[in-house]
Chain A
Amino acid sequence: MLSLIASTISILAAAVTEGEGLKAIGAGLGYGLAAIGPGIGIGIVVGAAIDAMTRQPESAGTARTTMFLGIAFTEALALIGFVVFILLLP
Chain B
Amino acid sequence: MNNQAIEHSTAPEREVATDIFRRGLIASPVLLALAIIFWGLSGLACAGIALGIILTNFLAGAWIIDWAVKISPQLLMSAVLGGFVLRMAIITGVVLPIRNQEWFEILPFGLILIFSHLGLLIWETRYVSATLKYPGLKPRVKRQMRKKSLD
Q: Do A and B bind each other?
A: yes
Chain A contact residues, CB within 8 Å of chain B: 35, 38-39, 42-43, 46-47, 49-50, 53-54, 57-58, 60-62, 64-65, 67-69, 71-73, 75-76, 78-80, 82-83, 85-87, 89
Contact of A79 among B2, B10, B113 (CB under 8 A): B113
Contact of B61 among A60, A72, A82 (CB under 8 A): A72
**Residue numbers in A under 8 Å from B57 (CB-CB):** 75
A46 adjacent to B76 (CB under 8 Å): yes
Size bracket, chain B contacts: 35 or more
A65–B62 alpha-carbon span in the complex (Å): 10
**Residue numbers in B under 8 Å from A78 (CB-CB):** 84, 88
Chain B contact residues, CB within 8 Å of chain A: 1-2, 5-6, 9-10, 12-13, 16-17, 57-58, 61-62, 65, 69, 73, 76-77, 80-81, 84-85, 88, 91-92, 95, 99, 106, 109-110, 113-114, 117-118, 121, 124-125, 128, 132
A46 adjacent to B88 (CB under 8 Å): no
A56 CB, min distance to chain B CBs, angstroms: 9
Q: Give chain A's interface secondary structure class.
A: helix
Chain A residue at minimal CB-CB distance from B135: A62
A46 adjacent to B12 (CB under 8 Å): no
B99 adjacent to A86 (CB under 8 Å): yes
B79 CB, min distance to chain A CBs, angstroms: 9
**Residue numbers in B under 8 Å from A79 (CB-CB):** 91, 113-114, 117
A29–B23 alpha-carbon span in the complex (Å): 34
Contact of A65 among B76, B117, B128 (CB under 8 A): B128
